[in-house]
Amino acid sequence: MNKIELLISIASDLTSALDSESRYGRLLESLRRIIPYDAASLLRVDGEALRVMAAIGLTEDVMGRSFMKGDHPRLEIICNAAEPVRFRADSRMPDPFDGLLMDETLTGRRIHSCLGCPLFADSTLIGVLTADAVAPDAFDGLDATFLSAIAALAGAEMHTTELMEALQNGEIQKIGAGQVNHVNVRLIAATNRRLKQEVTAGRFRADLFHRLNVYPIHVPPLRERIEDIPLLAGHFCELTQRRIGLGTVRLEQDALNLLKRYNWPGNIRELENVIARALLRASSDHRNGEQLTIGPHHLGMEFEVTASTEGMSPGGEIRSMIKGRTLREASDEFQRDLILRVVKDTGGNWSEAARRLGMHRSNLHKLAVRLKIH
């Protein structure tokens, strides 16, 4: 497993744990695959102190302790650093966890390998990740850039946990301050993902989902709100015409009908883009003194297909088209009929037909030769 895959694996592990204590513990456990430590801890900044949020390989009473920065020079150096710090094995500075290793065979032995990663949220120090080992060469060869990535992941996890607490209890605490402030807010979150399935697949945090999913509101896709399409189309026409400095734009009824029949997999953003492209095409055909109008042929090839298949049903023309034919044969017949119709609509102007079909003129001619269109 390469380093990127390992980071993704650790991040995925964190999404499946339900509470902050479990996620902190899982993070430290995951680090064993990277850092051969005897003990590791995750500490949160609390004023001038660092409070232990999770620990592995240290005595149980560590969870009740806090470490003042001024009393522990190594922690102070880590807190003042901008990147991970590795201390020399012969450093005379005391380690804050000397004598606190859980393994009885290591009791009384001095820690020789020590590294620490400052954890930031928006350039503000929020915590520290430490790893210790008795062996003096335990951390030799660790990649500094990779350690920075681990620190960023741990910092994001700690910062998100604080968000969880704010959502759950309505309490926020300024980093480094001892006072807790109560807030009265309502949070509205929107997504186009199916979050229940994302949680099951381990791609979205279960705890965040349950805190957000208090009163879910289903917003139907654009294809289920046909009556909104003319309003939105008019709005986007106005926005685009102002942006490019055009006069009033009219949408032909046939064009609106095509917009209503389209499936809109990209929802409102796709409608906005379609209107913008159509307006640019219409402006290139516009003559001074005439009303600038968007017609069906300005909408794009996907709408040509929509128009050509209007009225088809599984029991009608489509079934007749494919009966006794291969997929290639049915596809060729459809393309042949569509090209002939567009060429007819343009009065035999192949350049204009190619533009309406969204193709280069030479490519349209090559396709016409293959389809035996004369």
Look up the CATH number of the domain holding residue 21: 3.30.450.40
Claim to verify: residue 353 and residue 242 sit in the same structural domain: yes
Most confident of 6-15, 186-195, 259-268: 259-268
Look up the CATH number of the domain holding residue 275: 1.10.8.60
User: What pLDDT was estimated at residue 314?
Assistant: 44
CA distance 64 to 114: 22
Claim to verify: residue 25 and residue 137 sit in the same structural domain: yes
pLDDT reading at 5 higher than 70 = no
Q: Is residue 284 part of a domain?
A: yes
Q: Is residue 119 part of a domain?
A: yes
Q: How many domains does the chain have?
A: 2
Segment 90-104 shows an average pLDDT of 83
Structural domain ending residue among the three candidates 182, 210, 233: 182
Q: Which two tokens stand for residue 147?
A: 């350690």
User: What pLDDT was estimated at residue 316?
Assistant: 46
Q: Is residue 201 part of a domain?
A: no
Claim to verify: residue 152 and residue 241 sit in the same structural domain: no
- DSSP code per residue over 292-360: EEE-GGGS-HHHHHHHHTTT--TTTHHHHHHTT--HHHHHHHHHHHHHHHHHHHTTT-HHHHHHHTT--
pLDDT reading at 142 higher than 50 = yes
Q: Is residue 308 part of a domain?
A: yes
Q: Is residue 212 part of a domain?
A: no
User: What pLDDT was estimated at residue 16?
Assistant: 54
User: What pLDDT was estimated at residue 79?
Assistant: 93
CA distance 60 to 95: 18
CA distance 317 to 170: 61
Q: Model's pTM, two decimal places?
A: 0.46
Whole-number percent of the chain with pLDDT over 70? 79
CA distance 368 to 309: 20
Claim to verify: residue 99 and residue 239 sit in the same structural domain: no
First to last CA, the chain: 59
Q: Is residue 187 part of a domain?
A: no
Claim to verify: residue 235 and residue 156 sit in the same structural domain: no
Least confident of 159-168, 188-197, 265-274, 292-301: 159-168
Pairing mode, strands 39-46 and 124-133: antiparallel
CA distance 272 to 356: 19
Confidence of residue 154 (pLDDT cuts 50, 70, 90): confident
pLDDT reading at 10 higher than 70 = no
Name the residue among 259, 235, 238 with its Cα closest to residue 248: 238
Average pLDDT in the chain: 79
User: What pLDDT was estimated at residue 232?
Assistant: 95
Domain extent for 44: 3-182
pLDDT reading at 313 higher than 60 = no
More confident position, 108 or 338? 338
The string of pLDDT tens digits covering residues 65-94 is: 889 999 999 999 999 998 889 998 888 888
Least confident of 4-18, 56-70, 244-258, 308-322: 308-322
- DSSP code per residue over 200-258: HTTSS-HHHHHHHTTS------GGG-GGGHHHHHHHHHHHHHHHHT---EEE-HHHHHH
For residues 249 and 292, the answer to whether their CB atoms sit within 8 Å is yes
Q: Is residue 194 part of a domain?
A: no
Claim to verify: residue 249 and residue 364 sit in the same structural domain: yes
Least confident of 40-49, 137-146, 258-267: 137-146
CA of residue 40 relative to chain centroid, distance: 31
**Residue whose pair of structure tokens reads 């119709």 in the numeric block:** 341
